[in-house]
Structure 1
């Protein structure tokens, strides 16, 4: 048996503004743009992971009014779960996202547990981390 992640939903406040970030700054490709208003969603993907797609939707899409309101509140506070991407060139990716105008939360740094990473906020306030595996990952000894 095999199992793989197929979709990852990302809740955003403005689909068009968020589309520009995920498409233009991060380089994802639009796979589908379906519906309109709160019933609209945009699916993006990458040729590097052909089976994995990211679905952008607003808080009230497919939810009751109270569920959408609760999700909107969490989005506004910036406390929804972070999104973590991997790249083979963190410096180039970081500079492209910064040049796009995203809010930088953390410049690229080496982590003691292995990867180099950086952090941004997307236009809706979601934390987006971008990591590059360390060249020395095989030398890292787990502490447990």
Structure 2
């Protein structure tokens, strides 16, 4: 089994696509106006309009109602990302911080309120834990 993607359901696909294109520095693929994918080497972030929810089962997802998932991405330099993202991140949850498990991280919310974590392993143990994961 291979992990394919994480999909965010939203009422404003264009707004989230624009946001994540800025965060990731990649252009989204748009096979339909109600759906987009940001494809990166390690994962794909899919964004679907709330109009697509009935295709999966009525009430199976609710736009902008996430309170339990953190979307995480490993980066090369958290502090540089923090500086780069300052102009357009509206809600910072955590400024650059080294976590107890050895990752340096920043956390912020996307326009729908989803929590996003950019991190880099910085301690010897954390670097070892992530070695071989691409």
The TM-score, its normalising length taken from structure 1, stands at 0.75
Runs of 4+ in 1 over 6 A off after TM superposition: none
Question: What pairs with 1:65-144 in structure 2 (closer than 5 Å)?
Answer: 66-67=58-59, 71-72=62-63, 75-76=64-65, 78-137=66-125
Cα shift at 1:99: 1.6
**CA apart distance, 1:134:** 1.4
Work out whether 1:45 is the aligned partner of 2:33.
no
CA RMSD of aligned residues (A): 2.4
Instruction: Name structure 1 gaps, 5 residues minimum.
Output: none
Between the two proteins, the alignment pairs up a number of residues equal to 127
Give the Cα–Cα distance (whole angstroms) in 1 for the partners of residues 91 and 58 of structure 2.
30
Partner of 2:131: none
Q: Which residue of 2 aligns with 1:34?
A: 31
**Which deviations, in whole Å up to 9, do the C-alpha atoms of 1:50-98 show, x marking residues without a partner?**
6x21111123314268516x613xx24x415121111011111112222
Bigger radius of gyration among the two: 1
Using the size of structure 2 for normalisation, the TM-score is 0.80
